[in-house]
Amino acid sequence: MRNVLRRAGRAAAHTLALAALLAGVAGCRGPALDFSGKHRSPEESIRVLPDHGARDVPPEGPLEVRLPSGRLERVRVTRIESGAPGRITGRISEDGLRWTPRDGTRLSLAAKYRVDVVALDGHGRRSARQTTFTTEVPAHRFIGYFKPENRAVTGAGMIVSFEFNRKITDRAVVERAVTVTSDPPVEIAGHWFGDDRLDFRPQRYWEPGTKVTVRIRLRDVEAAPGAYGIQHKTVSFTVGRSQVSTVDAAAKTMEVRRDGSLLATVPITAGEPKSTTYNGRMVISDMQDMTRMNGATVGFTDENGKGEYDIKDVPHAIRLTESGTFLHGNYWAPVDIFGRVNVSHGCIGLRDEKGGSGDSPAGWFFDRSLIGDVVEVVNSTDQVVEADNGLSGWNLSWARWKAGSALR
């Protein structure tokens, strides 16, 4: 079995092949399940409303999770807009087939939500699904959804990233309205990727212990004709420590260094020759203890249009790019391939056990990782990952980074 997913516009050989971490960003671009498909058994159909990626969802919903059979084990609905975390509480029906929010629940306007579901089929086997959706933004208003979350503790490679729900035509006025400072102080610059994304980073990785403060003063700022901001808030995060892991695709190893000291050298499997792993520095942006990966969502199908693989319980899944590169546990490959053979379609696989084991290499690494940690791939025959693919801006030189500011 293969491990990984790749970039949307690349050829299938470079599309992530082990999976589609089904999520808003899930395991490679979008939900891993197609509920209108003809090839799904009832136990596999975790149905979430609103649909994955839905926009402009009204405050009254709909919001629910359904199963045709089996039993829901866990449903979590969390507001993930930084600075305003919160959870929607609800209940699972007595038959275990439906989750609904408590009576009177209303979603917040201009907010992004994530739905995490774990379900059991009739044989007690787990499967997972993760989706995201955003609620209505008032007419003639815009909002920036940003990372990391307020009061988060991150790795030293964390990049502050804003994604706007409308195209920004006056980038300078928006960039002026967002200030990022640090204690101890360092120079921090913004960089625009297109007309709806603005990232901030220093010249080098943050020093451990640094407190970073983000002041957002977008309220009534006109970013495009007739479109005014609604946010006025201050958020912060703290850099916990510096962990940089170097994956050598040729040697098939990963060296994990914490604050410069080597913690361990872990055997891995990377992308096979026809679907190699990106080179370059990537930043951990999401972590799931279990997720689902399906080849059909990324173009890996057989002659009948079914996915070449459908793994419902991929353990210890760590997202590295938006296009679907993951570092994750692998329990289905022979133990002796790790450190010896590259068999994935671009992901980085670590040995694991079914259900995920904290004593496995994958579990060990997962338990010692933070959002914002850096994973750098070297000696692959692939290109360097693009700077806007996930939080990969460290692959730009400082001069090129600052040249992308609207205030230069």
Question: Could you give the CA distance from residue 378 to residue 372 in angstroms, rounded to a whole number?
Answer: 19
The pLDDT value recorded for residue 5 is: 36
pLDDT of residue 373: 98
Co-location of 292 and 206 in the same domain: no
Q: Is 28 among the catalytic positions?
A: no
- 188: domain CATH number is 2.60.40.3710
Q: What pLDDT score does 9 carry?
A: 37
Q: Are residues 274 and 375 in the same domain?
A: yes
Q: 321 with 343, same domain?
A: yes
Do both 267 and 317 map to the same domain?
A: yes
Confidence at residue 40, expressed as pLDDT on a 0 to 100 scale: 38
The CATH code of the domain that includes 252 is 2.40.440.10
| Candidate list 52, 191, 316, 328, residue with the active-site label | 328
**Residue 345 resides in a domain:** yes
Pair 206, 269 in one domain: no
Q: Which residues of the chain have pLDDT under 50?
A: 1-43, 82-83
Total of domains in the chain: 2
Residue 365 lies in a domain: yes
Select which of 52, 191, 345, 347 is catalytic.
Answer: 347
Looking at residue 85, what is its pLDDT? 54
Whether residue 212 is contained in a domain is answered as: yes
* Domain span including residue 328: 243-393
Looking at the fold, whether 248 and 385 belong to one and the same domain comes out as yes
24, part of any domain: no
pLDDT of residue 27: 37
Residues 213, 286: one domain?
A: no
Residue 278 lies inside a defined structural domain of this protein? yes
12 in a structural domain: no
- Whether 202 and 258 map to the same domain: the answer is no
Residue 189 lies in a domain: yes
Please indicate, yes or no, if residue 57 is contained in any of the structural domains.
no
140 is catalytic: no
* 292 lies in the same domain as 370: yes
User: Residue 228 has which token pair?
Assistant: 């005014």
Report the pLDDT value the prediction gives residue 296, as an integer from 0 to 100.
66
φ and ψ at residue 111, rounded to 5 degrees: -125, 155
> Do 388 and 300 fall into the same domain?
yes
My answer on whether 337 and 285 are in the same domain is yes
Sign of CA dihedral 390, 395, 396, 401: positive
Residues 217 and 276 in one domain: no
Residue 390 CA, chain-centre distance (Å), reads 8
